[in-house]
Chain A
Amino acid sequence: EAGVAQSPRYKIIEKRQSVAFWCNPISGHATLYWYQQILGQGPKLLIQFQNNGVVDDSQLPKDRFSAERLKGVDSTLKIQPAKLEDSAVYLCASSLTASGSTGELFFGEGSRLTVL
């Protein structure tokens, strides 16, 4: 079974530029998550989708971050314009269902962003 796929693995941009990350979850997984992991910290949820609807985006800085999950499969996370503090690893995860809170999230390898 293929895991969660993310691209690109690494991205270096200058501040005020834009960047987009792509995620393809495990086939059949209804729930998709984007986490931000800053160096030395634990992952922090940015946004959670259930199929193509947003369940929780309370921690997403909406003035610069946006995410979509068209057709309820793959997802794109965009940052525009980027700030220095956006340097982090962006982790995508998926789970079979959000109900029951079993916590069985499957993570991709992450996209490491460096903002100069």
Chain B
Amino acid sequence: AQSVTQLGSHVSVSEGALVLLRCNYSSSVPPYLFWYVQYPNQGLQLLLKYTSAATLVKGINGFEAEFKKSETSFHLTKPSAHMSDAAEYFCAVSDWSGANNLFFGTGTRLTVIP
């Protein structure tokens, strides 16, 4: 069975500071891993995905994540936070079964302080 754990339901950073959102996964098979962002009253939008190619994945809006098998982690980072990054971020895991079902974490709400 697949699952993800997001540490920290709320994260606050100052504008221009490093953003680090943590995600650890559990999977019995090699996983696909994803980060989605949800702005208020909007649907989820894919930020980036890991599908067994390069372990460092670059996404939209300057975000990136690194797959670390030894740590079962897929943390999301951005070097410099912008006010527009304030949103809720969800880590998700899928397997290779072809069903394409995503298992989401509980989310991390990012606040950017001016």
Task: Decide: B92 and A107 in contact? CB cutoff 8 A.
Answer: no
In chain A, residues 61-107, which have Cβ atoms closer than 8 Å to a Cβ of chain B? 91, 93, 95, 97-105, 107
The answer to whether the Cβ of B97 comes within 8 Å of any Cβ in the partner chain is yes
- The main secondary structure of chain B at its interface with chain A is loop
In chain B, residues 79-114, which have Cβ atoms closer than 8 Å to a Cβ of chain A? 90, 92, 94-107
Closest B-chain residue to A91, C-beta based? B43
Total of A-B residue pairs, C-beta within 8 Å: 79
- Number of residues from B at the complex interface, CB < 8 A: 28
Q: Which residues of A contact B28 (CB under 8 A)?
A: none
The answer to whether the Cβ of B34 comes within 8 Å of any Cβ in the partner chain is yes
Cα separation A3 to B42 with both chains bound (whole Å): 12
Which of A's residues lie within 8 Å of B, judged by CB? 3-4, 31, 33, 40-45, 48, 55-56, 91, 93, 95, 97-105, 107-110
Which of B's residues lie within 8 Å of A, judged by CB? 9, 32, 34, 36, 41-46, 49, 51, 90, 92, 94-107
